[in-house]
Chain A
Amino acid sequence: MQIASRQYADALVAAPAGRVDHLSAPGFESELTRLVAQARDGGSALVLDFSDVEYISSGGLRVLMIAATQMRARQGKLVVAALQTVAAEIFAVSRFDRVLTVATTLEDALEHCSTAALAAYRQSSATP
């Protein structure tokens, strides 16, 4: 699993896609480990744009928990954004919506990170 990412001021936005199940969770973990290191080294928050994630298993949720803990250890933020129907229900049933920071949209997530990150994102989105 490869996760594409983009930098918006002091926020690194990564967008996994597809199913994060028991088969793909190890690959998801490797990629998230890399992204957490990148965000921490750059002094950035990490935003995970889940708009293309169809499903996430317990193993995938565990990976998210570890990533959030690693970010917190350096006073960094991890925000999960734009959960789609199935993933949103899994977050609710598992109570992960209570232990991770979840934002309805990517803009909301970036606003939670910093004004500069939101401004950079809006500027990027407005550019043809």
Chain B
Amino acid sequence: MKKVRFWGTRGSLPVALTATGVRQKLLEVLRAARGRTLATDTDLERFLDGLPFPIAGTYGGHSSCVQIDTGGPDYFVCDMGSGLRPFGIAAMARRAGTAGQTFHIFQSHLHWDHIMGLPFFVPAFIPGNRVVIYGGHAELESALRRQQERPSFPVDFSIFGAKLEFVHLEPGQDYDIAGVRVNTLLQRHAGDSYGYRFESKGKAVVYTTDSEHPLTDHEHLEQFVQFFRDADLVIFDAMYSLADAITVKADWGHSSNVVGVELCQRAGARHLCMFHHEPVFDDAAIEAVLAETRRLEEVTRGASRLQVSAAYDGLEIEL
């Protein structure tokens, strides 16, 4: 596996940067530019590169969609949130719209924010393409068909020209999919969800979102430690603070940055990428959580360092 690219990183529902948010960023950029000489485009680029990410960039607002570049010709994707739409457009552009492409899509679960991208997934409309959707839910196919039924959506599922296939995966079993070893784990979430571990060419990536961790269930925690064991990257649902996750938002099916750090440290994972951001958080709030989580990792570090990052739409992580 070569790299991971994030197309949608927001939890629960997509959000957009507002005019007020853009203006605030512009004001901060202009304040930072005061008194500087920015005569050339190179000067401008260098100046922007030096600004904090929440000012010069944004975490984005698409819901869950992550691409894993395995190095092979097939596409590997986790979840079909609204980020699936820009992913599909980019995939089409990359191969100049030619058909004959295969997309392996792994569904954590079938909640709205994780399936809403499929009706807008351009490659699914192209005859000659193959879209294989994997998951642990018995309702995998019916849920996707249902979201395109009237009155919820104007275009029926039958419009798709690509060959769509549905594959049921059993937790605990190893699968070889296009040369990648895939393993899935049942997670605690309303209606269940599934985490995925992908292994290929000595690299391991874990995708674990919409997953709550009961802190008294040691068998459960140990299962996840083993699932994360020595992973190069763990994409982890860190939607809430720990205090919220075990009090007012207990049983809402999500986890926290603190538990993410603990599980990754116990597992000897190398990189924790926080994912499924709380939709009410603005860029500054996510950045603050990232800074705190990095500090937490630093003060609790054992024998090896755990890299900590926060996913944003467009982020690429080399493996």
Count A interface residues, CB 8 Å: 20
**B259, CB-defined interface residue at 8 Å:** yes
Q: Check B49 for interface membership: any CB of A closer than 8 A.
A: no
Contact flags A41-76 to B (C-beta < 8 A → 1, else 0): 000000000000001011101100100000000000
Number of residues from B at the complex interface, CB < 8 A: 22
Q: Please give the distance in Å from B203's CB to the nearest CB on chain A.
A: 27
Give residues of chain B (197-245) contacting chain A, Cβ–Cβ below 8 Å.
Answer: 215-216, 218, 221, 241-244
Q: How long is the Cα–Cα vector from A57 to B246 in the complex, in angstroms? A: 13
Contact of B244 among A58, A85, A93, A95 (CB under 8 A): A95
Contact pattern, A 83-98, Cβ under 8 Å of B = 1, otherwise 0: 0011001101111101
Q: Are A58 and B258 in contact (CB under 8 A)?
A: yes
**Are B262 and A58 neighbours in the complex by a CB distance under 8 Å?**
yes
Give the CA-CA distance A13 to B169 in the complex, in Å: 53
Is there a chain B Cβ closer than 8 Å to A22's Cβ?
A: yes
Asked if B293 is at the interface (CB within 8 A of a chain A CB), the reply is yes
- Is B221 touching A22 in the complex (CB atoms < 8 A)? yes
A53: shortest Cβ distance to chain B, in Å?
A: 13
A99 in contact (CB, < 8 A) = yes
Q: In the bound complex, do residue A95 and residue B241 qualify as a contact, i.e. CB atoms below 8 Å apart?
A: yes
Residues A58 and B296 in contact in the complex (CB < 8 Å), given A94-B241, A95-B243, A99-B243: no
Q: Are A89 and B215 in contact (CB under 8 A)?
A: no
Chain B hits for A61, CB < 8 A: 242-243, 246, 258
B18: Cβ under 8 A from any A Cβ: no
Query: What 9 pairs between A and B have smallest CB-CB spacing?
Result: A94-B242, A95-B243, A95-B241, A93-B292, A62-B215, A59-B215, A93-B296, A99-B243, A86-B299
Query: Apart from A22-B262, A93-B242, what are 9 other A-B pairs with CB-CB below 8 Å?
Result: A22-B266, A25-B215, A58-B256, A59-B216, A85-B299, A90-B299, A92-B292, A94-B241, A96-B242
A-B pairs with beta carbons under 8 Å apart, 8 shown: A59-B215, A65-B246, A85-B299, A89-B299, A90-B299, A93-B241, A93-B242, A93-B292
Which B residues are closer than 8 A to A by beta carbons?
215-216, 218, 221, 241-244, 246-247, 256-259, 262, 266, 292-293, 295-296, 299-300
